[in-house]
Amino acid sequence: MGAAGVVEQGGPLLSVRNLRQYFKIPGGNVVKAVDDVSFDIMPGETFGLVGESGSGKSTTGRAVIRLDDITSGSIVFDGDDISGKLSKEVAQRLRTNMSMVFQDPMASLNPYRKVIDTIATGLDAHRPHMDRREREELVYQMMDRVGLSRSQANRYPSQFSGGQRQRVGLARALIMNPKLVIADEAISALDVSIQAQVVNLMRDIQQETGAAYLFIAHDLSMVRYISDHIAVMHLGHIVESGRTDEIFSHPVHPYTRSLISAIPRFNPQVERDRHPLVYDAKAQGIRYDEGSYHIVSGTHSVLATDQQLEAWVD
């Protein structure tokens, strides 16, 4: 247990243990979208959760923020157990202290609501009797912070470009001053030049507010930039996790290695003849339910059997 097994000063902000999320599909089958996942996120850090589509990374994010009811496991956030039915007080704390930024800059904003109302969603939900002027002022401050101009407050989402819309989504997530922001593929639908803007902005905001991020992505290159810790997910399991430098300098699991080798090099002389590693769990005879978590060094742990670990480490 304890994939991350973080030993640091102070308790973790979020602690996920043995999270399982199974879905029944028509025909009586069960899809194990997330299977025995454990990790910790410390206050103020960025935790990158990486994997391909279907790896269960987004399901994990949705389970943590309780968009779905989990199958089993425990989630402790800021001292509250949020894995079961939420009491009113716990729900109130969860909804104000944890928020989410979504992938699709178009679908994540209601086309019929003005940007000012979208950003104020959290305020309206938790402080319904707030003075109008105060509400406006808080929204304006947030717009300044994410790089939108106040004159845009009364516009509708269709009047913004993709990057601007994602800033609106970020402002909505930050308005209650959350301790944890889950960014679910928050930049993958954006153009490269805009991705960099949003990543920089998120880092700036983290420095100002001390919020922790759960950064979910399929693309390791940006995750590497923003994350302190990384967990690599595949087929519902965390196959490897550790500090960013540990993962990148000593990747152990063959899936992690193939992901790292798939990061494109922007160098035609190198890239043309480079053939990224191929990973096929079935063909290589790797079964995740047979493995257990082994500590490689410090916070760095790998899901493997003893023999596999031996073969991979050298």
- Closest CB 234 distance from another protein, rounded Å: 10
The reply to whether 299 sits near another protein by the rule CB under 8 A is: no
- Closest CB 51 distance from another protein, rounded Å: 9
Reported as type and span, the H/E element at residue 67 is none
Of 29 and 151, CB closest to another protein: 151
- Closest CB 311 distance from another protein, rounded Å: 20
Out of 70, 171, 214, 222, the residue judged to bind another protein by CB under 8 A: 222
Out of 9, 29, 269, 307, the residue judged to bind another protein by CB under 8 A: 269
Of 72 and 200, CB closest to another protein: 200
The reply to whether 279 sits near another protein by the rule CB under 8 A is: yes
User: For the purposes of burial, counting CB atoms within 10 Å of the CB of 186, is it exposed (0-12), middle (13-18) or buried (19 or more)?
Assistant: buried
The reply to whether 103 sits near another protein by the rule CB under 8 A is: yes
Alpha carbons 304 and 301: distance in angstroms, whole number: 9
Rounded to 5°, angle at Cα 64 from 108 and 295: 125
Q: How many residues bind another protein (CB under 8 A)?
A: 80
User: For the purposes of burial, counting CB atoms within 10 Å of the CB of 287, is it exposed (0-12), middle (13-18) or buried (19 or more)?
Assistant: exposed
Out of 11, 23, 30, 52, the residue judged to bind another protein by CB under 8 A: 52
Of 104 and 294, CB closest to another protein: 104
The reply to whether 284 sits near another protein by the rule CB under 8 A is: no
The two structure tokens encoding residue 279: 């990973």
Cβ 34 vs Cβ 83: under 8 Å = no
Of 42 and 168, CB closest to another protein: 168
The reply to whether 91 sits near another protein by the rule CB under 8 A is: yes
Residues in region 11-50 near another protein by CB under 8 A: none
Distances (CA, A) of 12 to 188, 191, 206, 259, 288: 28, 34, 17, 28, 26
Q: Are strands 229-234 and 212-217 parallel, antiparallel or unpaired?
A: unpaired
- Closest CB 17 distance from another protein, rounded Å: 22
Residues in region 168-207 near another protein by CB under 8 A: 169, 172-173, 176, 191-197, 199-200, 203
Reported as type and span, the H/E element at residue 5 is none
Q: Where are the alpha helices (DSSP H) in 146-289?
A: 162-174, 192-209, 220-226, 244-249, 254-261, 268-271
Residues in region 106-135 near another protein by CB under 8 A: 107-113, 118, 121-122, 124-126
If you search the block for the tokens 């996790």, which residue do you land on? 241
